[in-house]
Amino acid sequence: MAEIIDGKLVSQHIRDEVAEGVERLKRETGVTAGLAAVLVGDDPASEIYVRNKRKACTEVGMYSEELRLPGETTEEELLSLVDKLNGDENIHGILVQLPLPSQISETKILRAVSPLKDVDGFHPYNVGLLVEGKPRFISCTPHGIIKMLDFYKIGIEGKEAVVVGRSNIVGKPVSLLLLHRHATVTICHSRTKPLDEVTRRADILVAAIGRADFITAGMVKEGAVVIDVGINRNKDGKLTGDVDFEGVSKKASYITPVPGGVGPMTIAMLLWNTLESARNFASS
């Protein structure tokens, strides 16, 4: 039976470390790390996520602003707000909550955020630094995955890693992070044939495809480390990941649950990036 990788436990260690860093930065420089979250419209999932981020900022002693805009906000109005936040000395991280209403280009908005305050790690400049292996800000979920592997002392170097999913938010950046740590990396997607033959080679398998219980025990190598990034609802309405946890946990050596696995790490790493940004501004 696999050992559970407890994302709540690891994320609390990260938050404790961030809280110490926030207090030390304030004491030594007078700078309070600040995060601004922009929410356009009233998407229920986004509402919960932003609320959790505000609560997390409070817990670690960060300054936070929550800016809510109506769903009919124009692209120009949102660009103007982002530009204002770019110049705000009290704000070191800017988060524009996705998805945005259809009249607004997500690409244009994300590129308008200053790379120096892009704590989500989505700006092309920061993505380029990650490709070079000299990252400023790393996308929060992929960074959290690496932190979990390190916390549990799971070696990466020399391992064969397979990532199922090629999104810009998870699949591509986590593949780069694993590559930088000297894993041999294969990226799979909907056109990979035959997928199960590729996944069975993995010492470390990351599932980020967005399909409930898609990865079954027959697709997993005995003793593999399985990281489940998916958040789905199955036919019974139950929250589940991309991995058939019951079946795969009997075969893997380590596995992340859903919920309580990768999810808590995302906000923890957002706080981490915001502190790093505040440190950068304080020293410039």
188: left (phi over 0), alpha (psi -120 to 50) or beta: beta
| SS3 assignment, position 126 | helix
**Residue 168 DSSP symbol:** T
C-alpha to C-alpha distance for 174 and 167, rounded to whole angstroms = 10
Catalytic: 97? yes
Catalytic residue among 6, 8, 42, 53: 53
Contacts of 128 (CB under 8 A, 6+ apart): none
Helices (runs of H) and strands (runs of E) counted in the chain: 10, 11
Task: Calculate ∠ Cα 166-169-175, nearest 5°.
Answer: 50
Say if residues 40 and 77 touch (Cβ distance below 8 Å): no
Distance between CA atoms of residues 162 and 178, nearest Å: 10
Which is the catalytic residue, given 118, 120, 203, 242?
120
SS3 of residue 227 by DSSP: strand
The catalytic position among 97, 172, 228, 251 is 97
Q: How far apart are CA 2 and CA 266, in angstroms?
A: 23
Listed residue (228, 213, 274, 234) closest to 5, CA to CA: 228
Active site residues: 53, 97, 120
